[in-house]
């Protein structure tokens, strides 16, 4: 076991709140007995920080400026508009910023059902998940997006379709694409149980975006099934439930390690597909995500996990 200081220990970092509740005979813990994960990243760490929806070089620079301001180490940035909606020079600039600052750059595969001509994606029953691919053409377009990004030096992508993940996993296995590619599953290709987690791992996933609204118990069940890093939204966008879980961060680390702690924003507009027409929003929300992450990490500092 680690030197984890339990937030449920009457003599631990939350002892004052526990004491007040105990005096009034009120329970103060929901997740007693959950196993503490002893799994780690390859560098031995339990958690890393991801800033999502970093739409282009300017937004990336804004993230870097804010991270410096808050003395925050960012390990990964991800983007949602897709490889196909950035110029080659923009992609190359993002990759160079990533290399210079030791930050993984993860770009979404461009085509998706929600931008296609079909309407089932908006249906009230049997809706098609947003980033899935419709037909052979879109599957080919998606693969082309990955190959194009690869030629520019990209080695980390967001995948939102099971068939595409299968094709990419096999292509990486046999060397048709670089063997060091990281495949991060999309939160819209929902992973919300241990069986799905195992399936995604078998298809070639490198890191799993789990559903934004899972309980600690449900996250622990997924963690028990796979060794891959889990990507967990501490704060989620409104269109994915809008969770805000900052006080849960110590427990999220405890049960989900190795875990990417993700910080986006409630009460903010959608950014995809991004571009100059909303550039000020793209940059201002990027800065606020870093601020939210800094607040989150302060929770780990306060309660003994940093």
Encode pLDDT of 151-185 as tens digits: 999 999 999 999 999 999 999 999 999 999 999 99
Average of per-residue pLDDT across 196-225: 96
Examine residue 258 and say whether the peptide bond preceding it is cis (omega within 30 degrees of 0): yes
Please state, rounded to an integer, the average pLDDT across all residues of the chain.
91
Average of per-residue pLDDT across 108-118: 86
Under the banding of pLDDT at 50, 70 and 90, the label for residue 33 is confident
Q: Decide if pLDDT at 121 tops 90.
A: no
Give how far Cα 125 sits from Cα of 135, 165, 212, 239, 277, Å.
Answer: 20, 25, 21, 17, 33
What distance in Å separates the CA atoms of residue 283 and residue 285, rounded to the nearest whole number? 6
- pLDDT value at residue 91: 98
- CB distance 79 to 55 below 8 Å: yes
Helix (H, G, I), strand (E, B) or coil at 87: coil
What is the fold of 45-302? TIM Barrel (3.20.20)
- pLDDT value at residue 158: 97
Lowest mean pLDDT among 43-52, 61-70, 96-105, 232-241: 232-241
- pLDDT value at residue 296: 95
Average of per-residue pLDDT across 3-22: 75
Lowest mean pLDDT among 46-50, 117-121, 216-220, 261-265: 117-121
Question: pLDDT by residue (tens digit) across 96-112?
Answer: 999 999 999 999 998 88
Average of per-residue pLDDT across 31-37: 78
Instruction: Collect all residues with Cβ–Cβ distance below 8 Å to 56 and sequence separation of at least 6.
Output: 79, 86, 90, 94, 274, 282
- pLDDT value at residue 156: 98
Tokens 């929901």 -> residue: 30
Domain boundaries, the chain: 45-302
pTM of the model: 0.91
Write down the number of H helices and E strands in the chain: 9, 8
Q: What angle do CA 4, 233, 150 make, to 5 degrees?
A: 110
Burial class of residue 68 in the structure, from the number of CB atoms within 10 Å of its CB (0-12 exposed, 13-18 middle, 19+ buried): exposed
Instruction: Collect all residues with Cβ–Cβ distance below 8 Å to 269 and sequence separation of at least 6.
Output: 278, 281
Under the banding of pLDDT at 50, 70 and 90, the label for residue 15 is confident
């Amino acid at each position: 076991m680690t030197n984890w200081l339990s937030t449920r220990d009457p003599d631990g970092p939350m002892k004052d709140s526990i004491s007040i509740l105990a005096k009034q005979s009120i329970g103060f813990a929901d997740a007693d007995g959950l196993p503490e994960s002893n799994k780690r990243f390859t560098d031995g760490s339990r958690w890393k920080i991801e800033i999502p929806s970093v739409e282009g070089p300017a937004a990336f620079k804004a993230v870097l400026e804010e991270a410096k301001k808050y003395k925050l180490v960012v390990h990964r940035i991800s983007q949602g508009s897709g490889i196909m909606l950035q110029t080659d020079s923009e992609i190359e600039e993002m990759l160079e910023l990533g290399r210079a600052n030791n930050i993984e750059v993860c770009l979404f595969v461009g085509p998706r059902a929600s931008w296609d001509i079909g309407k089932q994606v908006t249906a009230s029953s049997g809706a098609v998940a947003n980033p899935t691919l419709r037909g052979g053409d879109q599957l080919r377009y998606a693969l082309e997006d990955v190959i194009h990004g690869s030629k520019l030096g990209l080695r980390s992508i967001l995948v939102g379709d099971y068939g595409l993940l299968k094709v990419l996993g096999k292509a990486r296995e046999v060397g048709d694409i670089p063997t060091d590619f990281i495949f991060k599953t999309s939160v819209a290709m929902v992973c919300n149980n241990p069986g799905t987690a195992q399936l995604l791992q078998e298809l070639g996933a490198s890191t799993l975006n789990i559903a934004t609204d899972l309980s600690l118990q449900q996250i622990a069940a997924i963690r028990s099934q796979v060794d891959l890093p889990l990507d967990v939204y501490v704060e989620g966008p409104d269109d994915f439930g809008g969770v805000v879980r900052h006080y849960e961060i110590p427990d999220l680390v405890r049960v989900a390690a190795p875990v990417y702690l993700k910080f986006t924003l409630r009460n903010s507009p959608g950014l995809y597909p991004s571009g100059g027409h909303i550039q000020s929003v793209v940059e201002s929300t990027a800065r606020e995500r870093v601020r939210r992450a800094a607040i989150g990490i302060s929770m780990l500092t306060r309660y003994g996990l940093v």
